[in-house]
Amino acid sequence: MIQLLRSAHDRGVTFYDTAEAYGPFANEELVGEALQPIRDQVVIATKFGFDIDLETGKRGSGTNSRPDHIKAVTEACLKRLRTDRIDLLYQHRVDPNVPIEDVAGAVRDLIAEGKVKHFGLSEAGIGTIRKAHAVQPVTALQSEYSLFWRGPEDDVLAVLEELGIGFVPFSPLGAGFLTGQIDEKTKFDPSDFRNHVPRFSPEARKANMALVHAVQAAAKRKGTTPAQIALAWLLAQKPWIVPIPGTTKLSRLEENLGAVDVFLTEEDLKQIEDATSKLSLEGTRLPEAMLKMTGI
């Protein structure tokens, strides 16, 4: 993974997304080691917000965005990332027990200390975004968005444009579904998160293949891959959208990066829209318990 991260930089990638919850801790440690030699040439984003013991990494049952915890998490993140500042610090999930104004105030203090440069939110609704932005300007919102999940189009994108906030879609390839490499017969590893996602049940996958076929048809017309179409579609929506596809393979990294060279004309976008917008996809994008933790 260290080699892959450095290979990404060699190919022009400058924005890296991690979180204390990934592991917990292991991902930040790898990112820190990989990027330390090129720290001043990259932007690192990480996240706080879950109830994780800072010594053991043991996860509690919910969220924790108390200001004192945010500051302690930030100190731990700085050490794991081998850096003196975090370029973009997100609240990973909105904490129903802590006013967002207090969260924004804590990050504002960290920015004043020079430990953080920018404040971000993840999976937050428009009310939360506005309240946070009034205390400390929000630089970016990270939420799920792709041809597989277009919920942010309902109201979030308009508010982001109004306030001048960038958008960082995670799962831009629909957790792999839009690549065409997954169907109802695909077996996931027992540890794979998709085993618990209603939209990835075998029945839902079978029903939702019409979307994959539409993306494949667009890829065939453009002489490119379905993954590149999915990413190019996102890039074509707004100039301030920065999708973050994840991968563990160099070949997939190179395929994903090829999306920046795929130009979708107005006619291309119309064909994709006509083929996908009327589809009724089956299954929720997250398990019920996790949906309750989002503001979208």
- 244 φψ region: left (φ > 0), alpha (ψ -120 to 50), beta (else): beta
Residue 41 structure tokens: 């040439």
Q: Which amino acid is at 143?
A: S
On the 0-12 / 13-18 / 19+ scale of CB atoms within 10 A, 231 is buried
Strands (E), the chain: 15-17, 43-48, 50-52, 59-63, 86-91, 116-122, 138-144, 166-170
**Contacts of the segment 195-198: beta carbons below 8 A, 24+ positions apart:** 196/287, 197/283, 197/284, 197/285, 197/286, 197/287, 198/283, 198/284, 198/287
The answer to whether residue 90 is catalytic is no
Q: Which are the contacts of 135, defined by CB distance < 8 A and separation ≥ 6?
A: 100, 101, 104, 105, 108
Sheet arrangement for strand 138-144:
15-17, 43-48, 86-91, 116-122, 138-144, 166-170
Residue 195 structure tokens: 């085993």
Residues serving a catalytic function are 22
